[in-house]
Amino acid sequence: GQARKAVLQQDNELAEMRQRLQSHADFMGELRMQTKEVSANVDDWREQLCVKIRTLTVADKTVGAAQSKLQEPCKLLSGEHGHGRLKGLERMLRMRQQYMIGQVAQIYPVRPLNEQSPIVKPGLNSSITRTGVSEAVSPNGSQNGQAPLAILGLQLSKLSIKKTSYFSDKTEIQKSATLLGYVAHAVSLIASYLDVPLRYPLRLGGSHSYIVDHAPSVDPSIAPGVSSSTPSSTSMRTMEFPLFFEGQETTRSAYAVFLLNKDVEQLLNHIGAESLGPRHVLANLKQLTTIVQSQQYISD
């Protein structure tokens, strides 16, 4: 009986060994399949990596060629005919502009009335109006008791929008027209030196100068004395406003001075400065010439 038990025990052990062997064989089969899948993926990854390497190689050559081409422009920029020369030319241009505008400032000096040159004729030192300094505060830039600004003894009057009798004296009318002619000529010269096309062009005529408005708010049919280059039926009209006083009506002349100040503001903005206000044409002109004649204008 013991021999039978021993045989049964050996059969059981052999069956267990067969089962373990089969399990191991199944595991190896699964592992072999996974290995094949991984091998296939590795081949795909290797192919993708090769493509990327080739792409990087081409890109590296392209970058190298671009750097080689860039070296020549860099040499040109850093050379005597490069960026340094451009900066030098800009500095020379600004120095020339400074000199020319300085000449304009000497021809038409904008100074407080009490600092005018003694060579000016006494007849020019009188105020344009008979209303006192307070009436000339806004257009001349004077305030807080300071003397109003003037050019060669002529100061700009405070214009009235209504018909007045302030300018019954033809001499006073001529003084005002002369001053506005000075300002118009100075603005025209400065604009040409700075190469700035004025938004409101000037037609110079000394004491009978005009300023052009391409989109006026005044209807020519109700604005006598204002010349127009296009028919009144046109929506966009080119009209000229006088920088001098006609009779007792000063409305159009006041608008002309307003546009003239706009031109000065345009020049101030061109050099990076701000306007002092819409009624400070002489003060704005003085600020413009002062900034251009400063050392900062060249260094900027």
Where is the domain boundary, 52, 78, 104?
78
Task: Output the pLDDT for position 249.
Answer: 67
Residues 6+ apart with CB under 8 A from 140: 148, 149, 150, 155, 156, 282, 283
Residue 134's pLDDT is 30
- Domain end, chosen from 78, 110, 132, is at 78
pLDDT tens digit at each of 300 positions of the chain: 788 888 888 888 888 898 988 898 889 988 888 888 888 888 889 889 999 999 999 999 999 999 888 888 777 777 666 677 788 888 899 999 999 999 999 999 998 877 655 444 434 333 333 333 233 334 455 545 567 888 888 877 654 344 445 545 677 778 888 999 999 999 999 999 999 999 999 999 988 999 999 874 545 454 455 555 554 444 567 888 988 876 656 788 888 999 999 999 999 999 998 888 888 899 999 999 999 999 999 887
- Are both 34 and 141 inside the same structural domain? no
Give the count of domains, the chain: 2
Q: Residue 106: what pLDDT?
A: 93
DSSP the chain: -HHHHHHHHHHHHHHHHHHHHHHHHHHHHHHHHHHHHHHHHHHHHHHHHHHHHHHHHHHHHHHHHHHHHHHHHHHHHHSTTSHHHHHHHHHHHHHHHHHHHHHHHHHS-EEEGGG--TTS-GGGSS-SSSS-GGGGHHHHT--TTPPPEEETTB------SS--STT-SHHHHHHHHHHHHHHHHHHHHHHHHHT---SS-EE--GGG-EEEESS-SS-GGG-TT-EESS-TT-SS--EEEESS-BTTB-HHHHHHHHHHHHHHHHHHHHTT---S-TT-HHHHHHHHHHHHTSHHHHH-
Q: Domain ends where: 27, 51, 78?
A: 78
Question: Are residues 126 and 65 located together in one domain of the fold?
Answer: no
Same domain flag for 70 and 97 = no
**Domain co-membership, 195 together with 283:** yes
Q: Residue 250 sits in a domain of what CATH number?
A: 1.10.418
Residue 242 main-chain phi, psi, to 5 deg? -75, 135
- Let me know whether 65 and 123 are in one domain: no
* CA separation for the pair 110, 274 (Å, rounded): 18
Domain containing 131 equals: 87-299
- What is the rounded CA–CA span in Å between residue 39 and residue 27? 18
123 and 180 in a common domain: yes
* Pair (105, 228) in one structural domain: yes
**121 and 264 share a domain?**
yes
Same domain membership, residue 51 and residue 130: no
Q: Both 108 and 186 in a single domain? A: yes
Same domain, 22 and 168: no
pLDDT in the model for residue 102: 94
Clarify whether residues 177 and 202 are in a common domain. yes
